[in-house]
A = this chain, B = another copy of it.
Amino acid sequence: MVDYIAFDSTQALEYVKNQTNFFAPDAELTCYEFGDGNLNLVFRIHDQQQHSVILKQALPYARCVGESWPLTLDRARIEASVLIRHGEVCAQTTVKVLHRNDTLAITVLEDLGHMHILRGQLCQGHTYPNLAIDVADYLAKTSFYHSDFYLSPAQKKALVKEFTNPELCAITEDLFFDDPYHRSERNNYPNELQPHVTALQNNSNLKLAVAELKAKFLSSPQSLLHGDVHTGSIFVDQTNTKLIDPEFGFFGPIGFDLGSFIGNLLLNYCAQHKRAVELPKRRDLHAYLLNSIQTCVAQFEKTWLQLAKTQTRDLALQAPGYAERFINQVLRDAYGFCGTELIRRTIGLAHVADIDGIENLRARVEVQQQTLLLGEQLILQAPQCDTKEDLSQLLLSLLL
């Protein structure tokens, strides 16, 4: 076992050639690095017959900032382990791990280069008919099978330990729940937004509701989350959907993943006011996005309750009606976390291309005003909603 070194393309190629058997021994391999994410190196290694794999390697720092922001290599272990566990219960929508090496912080993955990253596609106005159902299926199955309903308490406690992920969780804790609601050097928004940011930071009811959400993020290990379900972590084509990049995985509140996903669809929804210039196209996209959210929530709930009905192993949690009550709370949480995603992507450190790609400042600020307001109201009002219908009604009333 060698110690960690950060690979260049040649080393990545040699590693795959010598340490795996994906390619024929005499295959002529090519390798290039194309990572555009914030944190890691990503290599594609392919032969002349259109066979290819992805080699992902964590760096001991955050790539987008540099060596001044050290970041644990342990995230590669977490990511590979989450993918393997999620793949066991939802293979169809989880990128496949072909090989792992935790010392080198390497994961070799199936190449999804024939598919597209969802965010870019949505920005360009493309739609995907199976997206909502597939994501719902992934979120329901991965969360049910790692919850107290299904795992024995001893299994679950062991997994909670295994997936303790303090450094990556700290990023979420800071960026989602602290920075946007206080003055912070990491915040990032145009001056034009300052009055709205000031109002938001002075809204004590909002801060109270955000405290509730942060407390849940900190101390509610309901299931093994992906931890970063934004539209940049999802590959799509017209038939398939694949989740990637769960390096933020940990045992947390189930609503967090669903809320992050909905939040990203809503960020795109708001951006389309300025992106989709033609009204019919805009209406179509808005209808698609809203419909996707409603379908995803409904399908998530339905699948979860079906699993709970037939596969709950915990005796007490089998009490009739309990799963329904549990999932209603998960949905309320989801809309709340969705609100924090809308806000932190607007005024926090990490933005989304959906909005930042709008070149006209005034148009962009208008969109940002909407995402802030929408986020604020979802956080404040979701806790009062009893059912998914109420939550859907709330969302519609805020959008239409």
Contact = CB atoms under 8 A, between A and B. Distances in A.
Interface in A303-329: 314-322, 325-326
A316 B207 contact: yes
Contacts of A277: none
A316 B181 contact: yes
A156 B317 CA distance: 27
A215 B169 CA distance: 23
Interface string A135-177: 0000000000000100001101110110010110110010001
Interface string A201-245: 000100110111011001111100000000000000000000000
A102 B326 CA distance: 40
Contact of A208 (B160, B170, B182, B319): B319
Q: How large is the interface on A (under 10, 10 to 19, 20 to 34, 35 or more residues)?
A: 35 or more
B157 A166 contact: yes
Interface in A251-282: none
A154 B161 CA distance: 13
How many copies of this protein are present in the complex? 2
Nearest to A222: B219
B316 A219 contact: no
Given A220-B219, A221-B219, A315-B178, A325 B153 contact: no
Nearest to A320: B204
Nearest to A177: B316
Contact of A153 (B169, B181, B314, B317): B169
B169 A325 contact: no
Given A156-B218, A207-B320, A215-B317, 16 more contacts: A153-B170, A160-B160, A160-B164, A177-B316, A178-B315, A182-B315, A204-B319, A204-B320, A207-B319, A207-B322, A208-B319, A208-B321, A208-B322, A211-B317, A212-B322, A212-B325
16 contacts: A153-B166, A153-B173, A153-B218, A154-B166, A154-B170, A157-B164, A161-B161, A204-B321, A207-B316, A208-B319, A208-B325, A210-B316, A211-B319, A214-B316, A215-B326, A219-B221
Interface of A: 148, 153-154, 156-158, 160-161, 164, 166-167, 169-170, 173, 177-178, 181-182, 204, 207-208, 210-212, 214-215, 218-222, 314-322, 325-326
